[in-house]
Amino acid sequence: MRWVRRGGLSTLIFFIPLLASFGLFSWWPILRSLLLSLQRTNFLTSEWVGLDNFARVLRDPLLLTATWNTLWFAILAFVIGFPVPVILAVFIGELRRARRLASALVYLPVIFPPVVAVLLWKAFFDPSPQGVFNTVLGWFDIGPVPWLNSGDLAMPSIVLQATWASFGTATIIYLATLMSIQTELYDAAEADGAAVSRRFWHITLPQMRGVLLVMFLLQVIGTFQVFTEPYIMTNGGPENRTVTILMLIYRYAFISGDYGRATALSVLLAIVLSALSAVYLWATRRWSTS
């Protein structure tokens, strides 16, 4: 009864809707996919197959291709996509009058529904000489470039679109961090005669490192789950050069109707992402206290 008097009951009552909705829409599906990964099912009858689905996933030569492609996407997204918002945030931060307008403009691409944006860029990447990018390149006697039709260029092209679609959010977050840096630090540096580059290197970057690390880890987790862009733009082609892990899961489930294999690969991906999340939690704790 003490428990009730101390508010245990009301806490429980308030908790029930939360538990129910999480249980029904999060935990049960997670548990269900764990079970499915150990079964062969047609959704009418199911048969326990142990780790056979995992073995079949690991035997699929396409897994290596998809893993490499996903990593390649992550690397390219880091090289192309990571510095852009940092630079833009610093640049916008330096603006005196047009900062709000610039922030709004930078954020604009995020407002586009992803499918619309991807389709728009697909038209830009039209490989014919009449394509948008190829027309521009044509003015300088370059091309036509095959873009998505080239095994070497397809993934960088997708990363270019993905960067465009997402850099707005990152820029705004960096900008907010920049605005919170004490201006006295800059004033002091300026009084000491430090140039812009030195101020950036010695004040801005160290002040932003916590946010930068968090954004980096979030980006890595996000890139491991890339699906929409390659699915719409190339459907994994040419020659599977843009097949990602999530696309492979999709193909197992919806093209082959093999839900056991699809959930097995999902579980494997979840394990990798959980490991990354653990690193993320450890690092954020460490960096926030340092």
Partner 1 sequence: MPPTNVRKSAAALSASAAAFALLSGCAAESPSQPGSVSITVAGQPTQENPDQLKAFKRKITDFTKANPGITVTGDESVFDVNTFQALVAGGKLPTVSYVPFTEMQGIIARQQAADITGYVGADAAVKRINPSILKVATSPDNHVYGVPVQAYSMGLLYNRALFTKAGLDPDAPPKTWDEVRAAAKAIHAKTGAQGFGAMTKDNTGGWVLTTMSYAFGSKIQSDDGKQANINNAATRGALEFYRALRWDDDTFGSDFLIGYKDITNALAGGKVGMIVQGADTYTQVVQALGMKPDDFGLAPMPQAPGGLGTLGGGSVAIINPRASAEEIKAALKWIDFAEFGKYNDEQAAVTGAKAAAADKLPVGAPVLPLFDQATTDRYLTWVKDYVNVPREHFTAYFDSAKTLPLVPEPAAKAQETYGILDNVVQAVLTRRDADINALLDDAQKKVQSAIDAG
User: What residues make contact with partner 1 under the rule CB under 8 A?
Assistant: 42-45, 56, 61, 126-128, 144, 146, 148-151, 233-240, 251, 253-257, 259
Buried b (16+ CB within 10 A) or exposed e, 41-67: beeeeeeebeebbbebbeeeebbebbb
For the CB of residue 39, give the shortest distance to partner 1 in the complex, in Å: 12
For the CB of residue 25, give the shortest distance to partner 1 in the complex, in Å: 15
Nearer to partner 1 among residue 45 and residue 290 (C-beta): 45
Nearer to partner 1 among residue 47 and residue 190 (C-beta): 47
Nearer to partner 1 among residue 167 and residue 231 (C-beta): 231
What's the rounded Cα separation, in Å, for the pair 115 and 130?
Answer: 23
Backbone dihedral region for residue 46 (phi beyond 0: left; psi -120 to 50: alpha; all else: beta): beta
For the CB of residue 247, give the shortest distance to partner 1 in the complex, in Å: 12
Q: Give the residues across from 40 on adjacent strands.
A: 47
Nearer to partner 1 among residue 81 and residue 131 (C-beta): 131
For the CB of residue 22, give the shortest distance to partner 1 in the complex, in Å: 21
Nearer to partner 1 among residue 101 and residue 119 (C-beta): 119
For the CB of residue 99, give the shortest distance to partner 1 in the complex, in Å: 41
Distances (CA, A) of 166 to 45, 117, 158, 171, 246: 43, 11, 12, 9, 19
For the CB of residue 17, give the shortest distance to partner 1 in the complex, in Å: 24
Nearer to partner 1 among residue 135 and residue 240 (C-beta): 240
